[in-house]
Every structure is written in C-alpha cells, then in structure tokens.
Structure 1
C-alpha cells in the first residue's frame, strides 16, 4: 500500500518557491521561511503565489510531486506534473469505455449511488445523534426519498437520466443541510447550493473543501495511470478533470461536507473569518483558510477501515485506493468497480 505523504499548502501571497538540492524552499523577500525534503511531499498547492523557479518545477516533475496553482480564493489556475505514468493500454481502455454508453452508464450509476448513500448516511447520523433538536419529519422524508433514488438509478438508461437523479438527490440533500448545523446557525445558513461565486459562508467553505478534494483525486488518478480529463458521467470539456469529478462524487459527503459541518459546530471557524464583496461573493480570510487547511491535513491522517479492502488505512489514502480499484476494474482484474461507502 502506498505511504501517505504530505501536501504542502502555500498561502502567503508573496511566497516564492525554490529548491536547494532535494529540499523545497519557501522564500519571502529572500528570507527562507520554510524548508522540507521533497521526498516527504506528494503535492504542493499554492494559493496566490509570487512565483516558482524552473528548477523547483523540474524537481517536482522528476519526483512525482504534483504542483498546483490556485488563486488566493481557491480557483484552479494550472498544474505542473511529470511524465504520464501507467500503461498506455489502460488509458486506451478508459477512452473506449468513456465512449461506450453501456460501460459509462454502469460506472456512472456506481459513482452516484455511492454519493446518495453517503449523503443519506450524513443526514441519518445527525437525526440519530441529535434527534431532539432537528426536524425529524423532514429528515425522515428526505432519507426515504433518497433511498428510492438509489433504486431508480439501477434503471437509468443513460448519463442524462443519471444526472437528473443526481440533481434531484442534491436538491433534497442541500435543502436539509441547515439541519446539520447545530451552532452558529444564523451565520452559516444555506439557502441553496451555489458557486462561481459562492454567495454565503457555508457555500464558500464547501467550495474551498471541494477544491482541495479535487487536487487529491486528480493526483491519485494520475498516480495509477488514468487520465483525469476523461470521465464517464461528467461530459468532456477543455480543462475539466471529468474523471476526477466522477470519483469525487462518492467522496464529497465524508471528506468535505462532514468536515465543514464539524468546523462550524465546534466553532473552529466563525462568521468574521469571511468577507462579502461588492458583487455579493463571499470569500474566506487568510486566517480561516489556514485553519481549514490544518483541519484538512489532520483529517487525512485519521484511520478508517476501508469497506472493500477491509483494512485500516489513513483517510487521505482513500482517493488513491479508489483510483487503484477503478484502474483494476478497467484492466479486467475486478469484475466491477467497488465505490467508497461510508459506514
């Protein structure tokens, strides 16, 4: 099993990335603020950066460290990676299956079924643990409806039908999302799921966490030789990591949604950590973004028992495990793709 390494998040806007031998350096006005051996890293994510040396980029490519660049608000801008890994036959199979309606539909059902089941689990957990303060009738109705949607997925004939069911499930899920918020309810109230830009604090937080998850999934897919751009459910679009978005669907509730709720309910973040811009967009301040990144890294270290492997692994390895299982299915080593179900 692959060893869980670290992802370096660079949030200082005037930081310059360089290297000294096998060490990654972060410089601010010629002063070295941080140094870490490259072999301890699996990825570097820069939020609003002053620059990076070509030598550092070469080192990252040579050592298989994914280097991603985002705006200070978390919008993806670009990515530097090394040679494409994996067997070319695996990618050729991936491309053929992506164009095959039957194969693409079958895999899409698996991704979305896991997403709905994991979303239901999150709603069911809050009803079980806090049944005295939530609207049980609404939650019970939504949980029952989402169970029916999982059954309907098995009869979905194509991607359009699956996307329709997924959209319906997301509507009911996010309509009940406020019930997961047990403290700071007024400050973190969701009217609906929105983005580009997010117009409330909870959507700003979720969008940021989804960006972090996307980085993890893209890196995982590339590490096993799959093309993150060619998916089965999400349509091809220049610059869109469609396969990463497919795999992300089953991971969003446990990785991002649950962490967002925990940060709010434990008051690790507060309303004054967000800024409302003139156009209505809500963005996170630097100190809150750093707090979220620390919590994200800690969460990745938590051990879980993987439902398919039945082995204990750090949560941060789940994207890699799912990418590996998908690759094995495409090669014919597994009869079907086993998605990640949160128990």
Structure 2
C-alpha cells in the first residue's frame, strides 16, 4: 500500500519506531509501517502530532489534509525536495520562451484530447445504446485534434479555447453514460451539485495533489506552468500535468457508478452542494489506489522529457554562473 487514507472522526495520528498509529475516537487502534507509504490523505476532524508529520516527511512521504464537509484541500506536505535547483532555473527559462511554452501547451492539450477520445471509444463499445451522443462527442474531439495540427501560430488564449470547447463536447457525451436520476448533465464545481460531480471533484483534488507532489519531487516548481498562466495561489504546472490524467479519473468515476459501488444513497445535500458520505468515501478510497496506478505512471513518464528540457535550457546559465562564482574557498 502506497497511500494511506485516514477518515475517522476525532482520530489521533502519532508516530513511533517507524510506524504510524491511528487512534479513533471510539477507541479503535491501527498501526501501519511508514516505509511503504508514499502519501497520507487525512480528512478531519482529526489530530496529527508534530512527530507524525516529521516522520512522514523524514520517510519522503506526502500528506494532504482535506477539511470540511466538502473535503476541500487545507494543507499539504510534499516530501523531500529535489536537490538540483538548475531544473527550476531551466523551467523558468522555458516558461518565458513563447515558442517553448506554446509547444509544451500543445502537447498537453493533445494528450488530453486523445485520452478523452479513448474513453469515449471504450464507452461506445460497452454502451451501444448511447451511440449517437458518443459518436457526436468523438467527432467533435477529432475536429479539435485536427485543428490542433494547425496551432503553430496560436496564442495561449486560442489554445485554452480549443481545450475548453473539446472538454464541453466531451462532457456532453460523457454525461449520457450515467442514469438521469443522478442529475449529471455537465461539469460543475464549487460546489458540485450532483453525485457524479461530487466524486469527480474528489478525484480531481487527489489527482492535483499527485501532480503537485510529483513536480516537486522531480525538481520543478508546481506554480510555473505552460498551458495555464501564472496566477496567485494556483499551481499552474500541476494544473497542466493533471489535464491529460482527467480521462483516467473520469473512467474510474464512471466505473464506480456503473458497477453500483457508488449509489445515490451515498450522498446528501447541503444547500446547493452534493456531499459524498462516509460509506461512499470509503468505497472510493478502496478503488482509488489501483485505479490511479496507470495515471501515476503516465504522470512520471510525462515529467521526464520536461525535466530533460529544463536541464538543457539551464545549461548555459549554470555554466556562466559557475564561472562567475570562481573556485570555492
């Protein structure tokens, strides 16, 4: 197990001798070794000791804290940072180079559109009764991919517009895979207003955390992106990285409802917001780790060429800086 989900009221998390101990409010006690853990997902109300935080960090693990009834991310611990600052220097140079930024942004959009088309083709094979809307979505995605080939002179806004129109056509088709009783007709958030959107939001939140953490571990700055522009408080590179992964997460959500692992009874309402209850969250957590494995591999594989490009972009500056610094005394 590489991910530990802790979702128990009044839980107390402590560390001792390379082990995390979790004590629940009702007297339950669990122990899990730290060594195999890559990340801990903690949903409050709970308490975690400074010793446990230090132990997770010392083991190179990550921590995300989800708070409130809507499981909003409240804080993160990303793990041991990469030691080579030249990677970030090269990333900044790429981000400031309009042509390099455009090329990387085009790749991100292309991978996302291809992934969305792959999911709709798989859905068409399983749901021939939805042939018309699925075929319409596939045609729209094919048109977007064809237009992307002519994107050599496009601006960032035009690329974002193409990605947005593709997403709208995709979700129009994707929504038809769910029973009308769930009320899912389009993507919405803040708050999600139906069960499908509630689970999509949770999946995207966890996926975003994975992207932030993997970028950090690879030596990149999660805030400096290529498709997503700089914005205060936004991890733009993580937003970039998670875009091609969304179809993998969408497939998980579709499967959970199609197999009735998640049902309408797992959800409650809080005003306009639709909330996933504890039983539903536990079912989601149980499916998450296996389902996200291919997405995690894609994420790490996708980071490698970006790290290589950043190293190459930094090479000249690093040599100049080294020469200017002179020999160490």
Could you tell me the TM-score, scaled by structure 1's length?
Answer: 0.85
Which digits, 9 at most, give the CA deviation of each residue in 1:240-294, with x for residues without a partner? 221111011111102x10001101111111001111112x110100110110010
Matched, 1:276 2:269: yes
Equivalent residue of 2:227, what SS? coil
Which digits, 9 at most, give the CA deviation of each residue in 1:316-335, with x for residues without a partner? 433223223321233349xx
Between the aligned partners of 1:88 and 1:223, the Cα distance in structure 2 is 12
Of 195, 199, 203, the match for 2:197: 203
Partner in structure 2 of residue 155 of structure 1:
150
Q: CA deviation at 1:80?
A: 2.1
Matched, 1:175 2:182: no
Matched, 1:78 2:65: no
Of 6, 15, 21, the match for 2:2: 6
Between the aligned partners of 1:189 and 1:123, the Cα distance in structure 2 is 20
Are the counterparts in 2 of residues 13 and 49 from structure 1 also a CA contact under 8 Å?
yes
Q: CA deviation at 1:31?
A: 4.5
Of 121, 127, 150, the match for 1:130: 127
Q: CA deviation at 1:199?
A: 0.8
Partner in structure 1 of residue 297 of structure 2:
317
Of 38, 41, 44, the match for 1:45: 41
Between the aligned partners of 2:298 and 2:234, the Cα distance in structure 1 is 22
Between the aligned partners of 1:138 and 1:59, the Cα distance in structure 2 is 50
Q: CA deviation at 1:71?
A: 1.4
Partner in structure 2 of residue 293 of structure 1:
285
Q: How does 1:1-343 map to 2 (within 5 A)?
A: 6-29=2-25, 31=27, 33-72=29-68, 73-131=70-128, 133-134=129-130, 136-156=131-151, 157-181=154-178, 185-254=179-248, 256-278=249-271, 280-300=272-292, 316-332=296-312
Aligned length: 310
User: 231-240 vs 207-216, which deviates more?
Assistant: 231-240
Between the aligned partners of 2:229 and 2:62, the Cα distance in structure 1 is 24
User: 21-30 vs 10-19, which deviates more?
Assistant: 21-30
Runs of 4+ in 1 over 4 A off after TM superposition: 29-32
Runs of at least 5 residues in structure 1 that lack an aligned partner in the other structure: 302-313, 334-343
Between the aligned partners of 2:233 and 2:20, the Cα distance in structure 1 is 28
Are the counterparts in 2 of residues 42 and 66 from structure 1 also a CA contact under 8 Å?
yes
Between the aligned partners of 2:95 and 2:43, the Cα distance in structure 1 is 33
Are the counterparts in 2 of residues 86 and 226 from structure 1 also a CA contact under 8 Å?
no
User: CA 1:262/1:30 → structure 2, altered by over 3 Å: closer, same or farther?
Assistant: closer
Are the counterparts in 2 of residues 273 and 284 from structure 1 also a CA contact under 8 Å?
yes
User: 38-47 vs 25-34, which deviates more?
Assistant: 25-34
Q: CA deviation at 1:200?
A: 1.0
Between the aligned partners of 1:294 and 1:70, the Cα distance in structure 2 is 17
Greater Rg by CA: 2
Between the aligned partners of 1:238 and 1:315, the Cα distance in structure 2 is 27
Runs of at least 5 residues in structure 2 that lack an aligned partner in the other structure: 314-329
User: CA 1:224/1:124 → structure 2, altered by over 3 Å: closer, same or farther?
Assistant: same
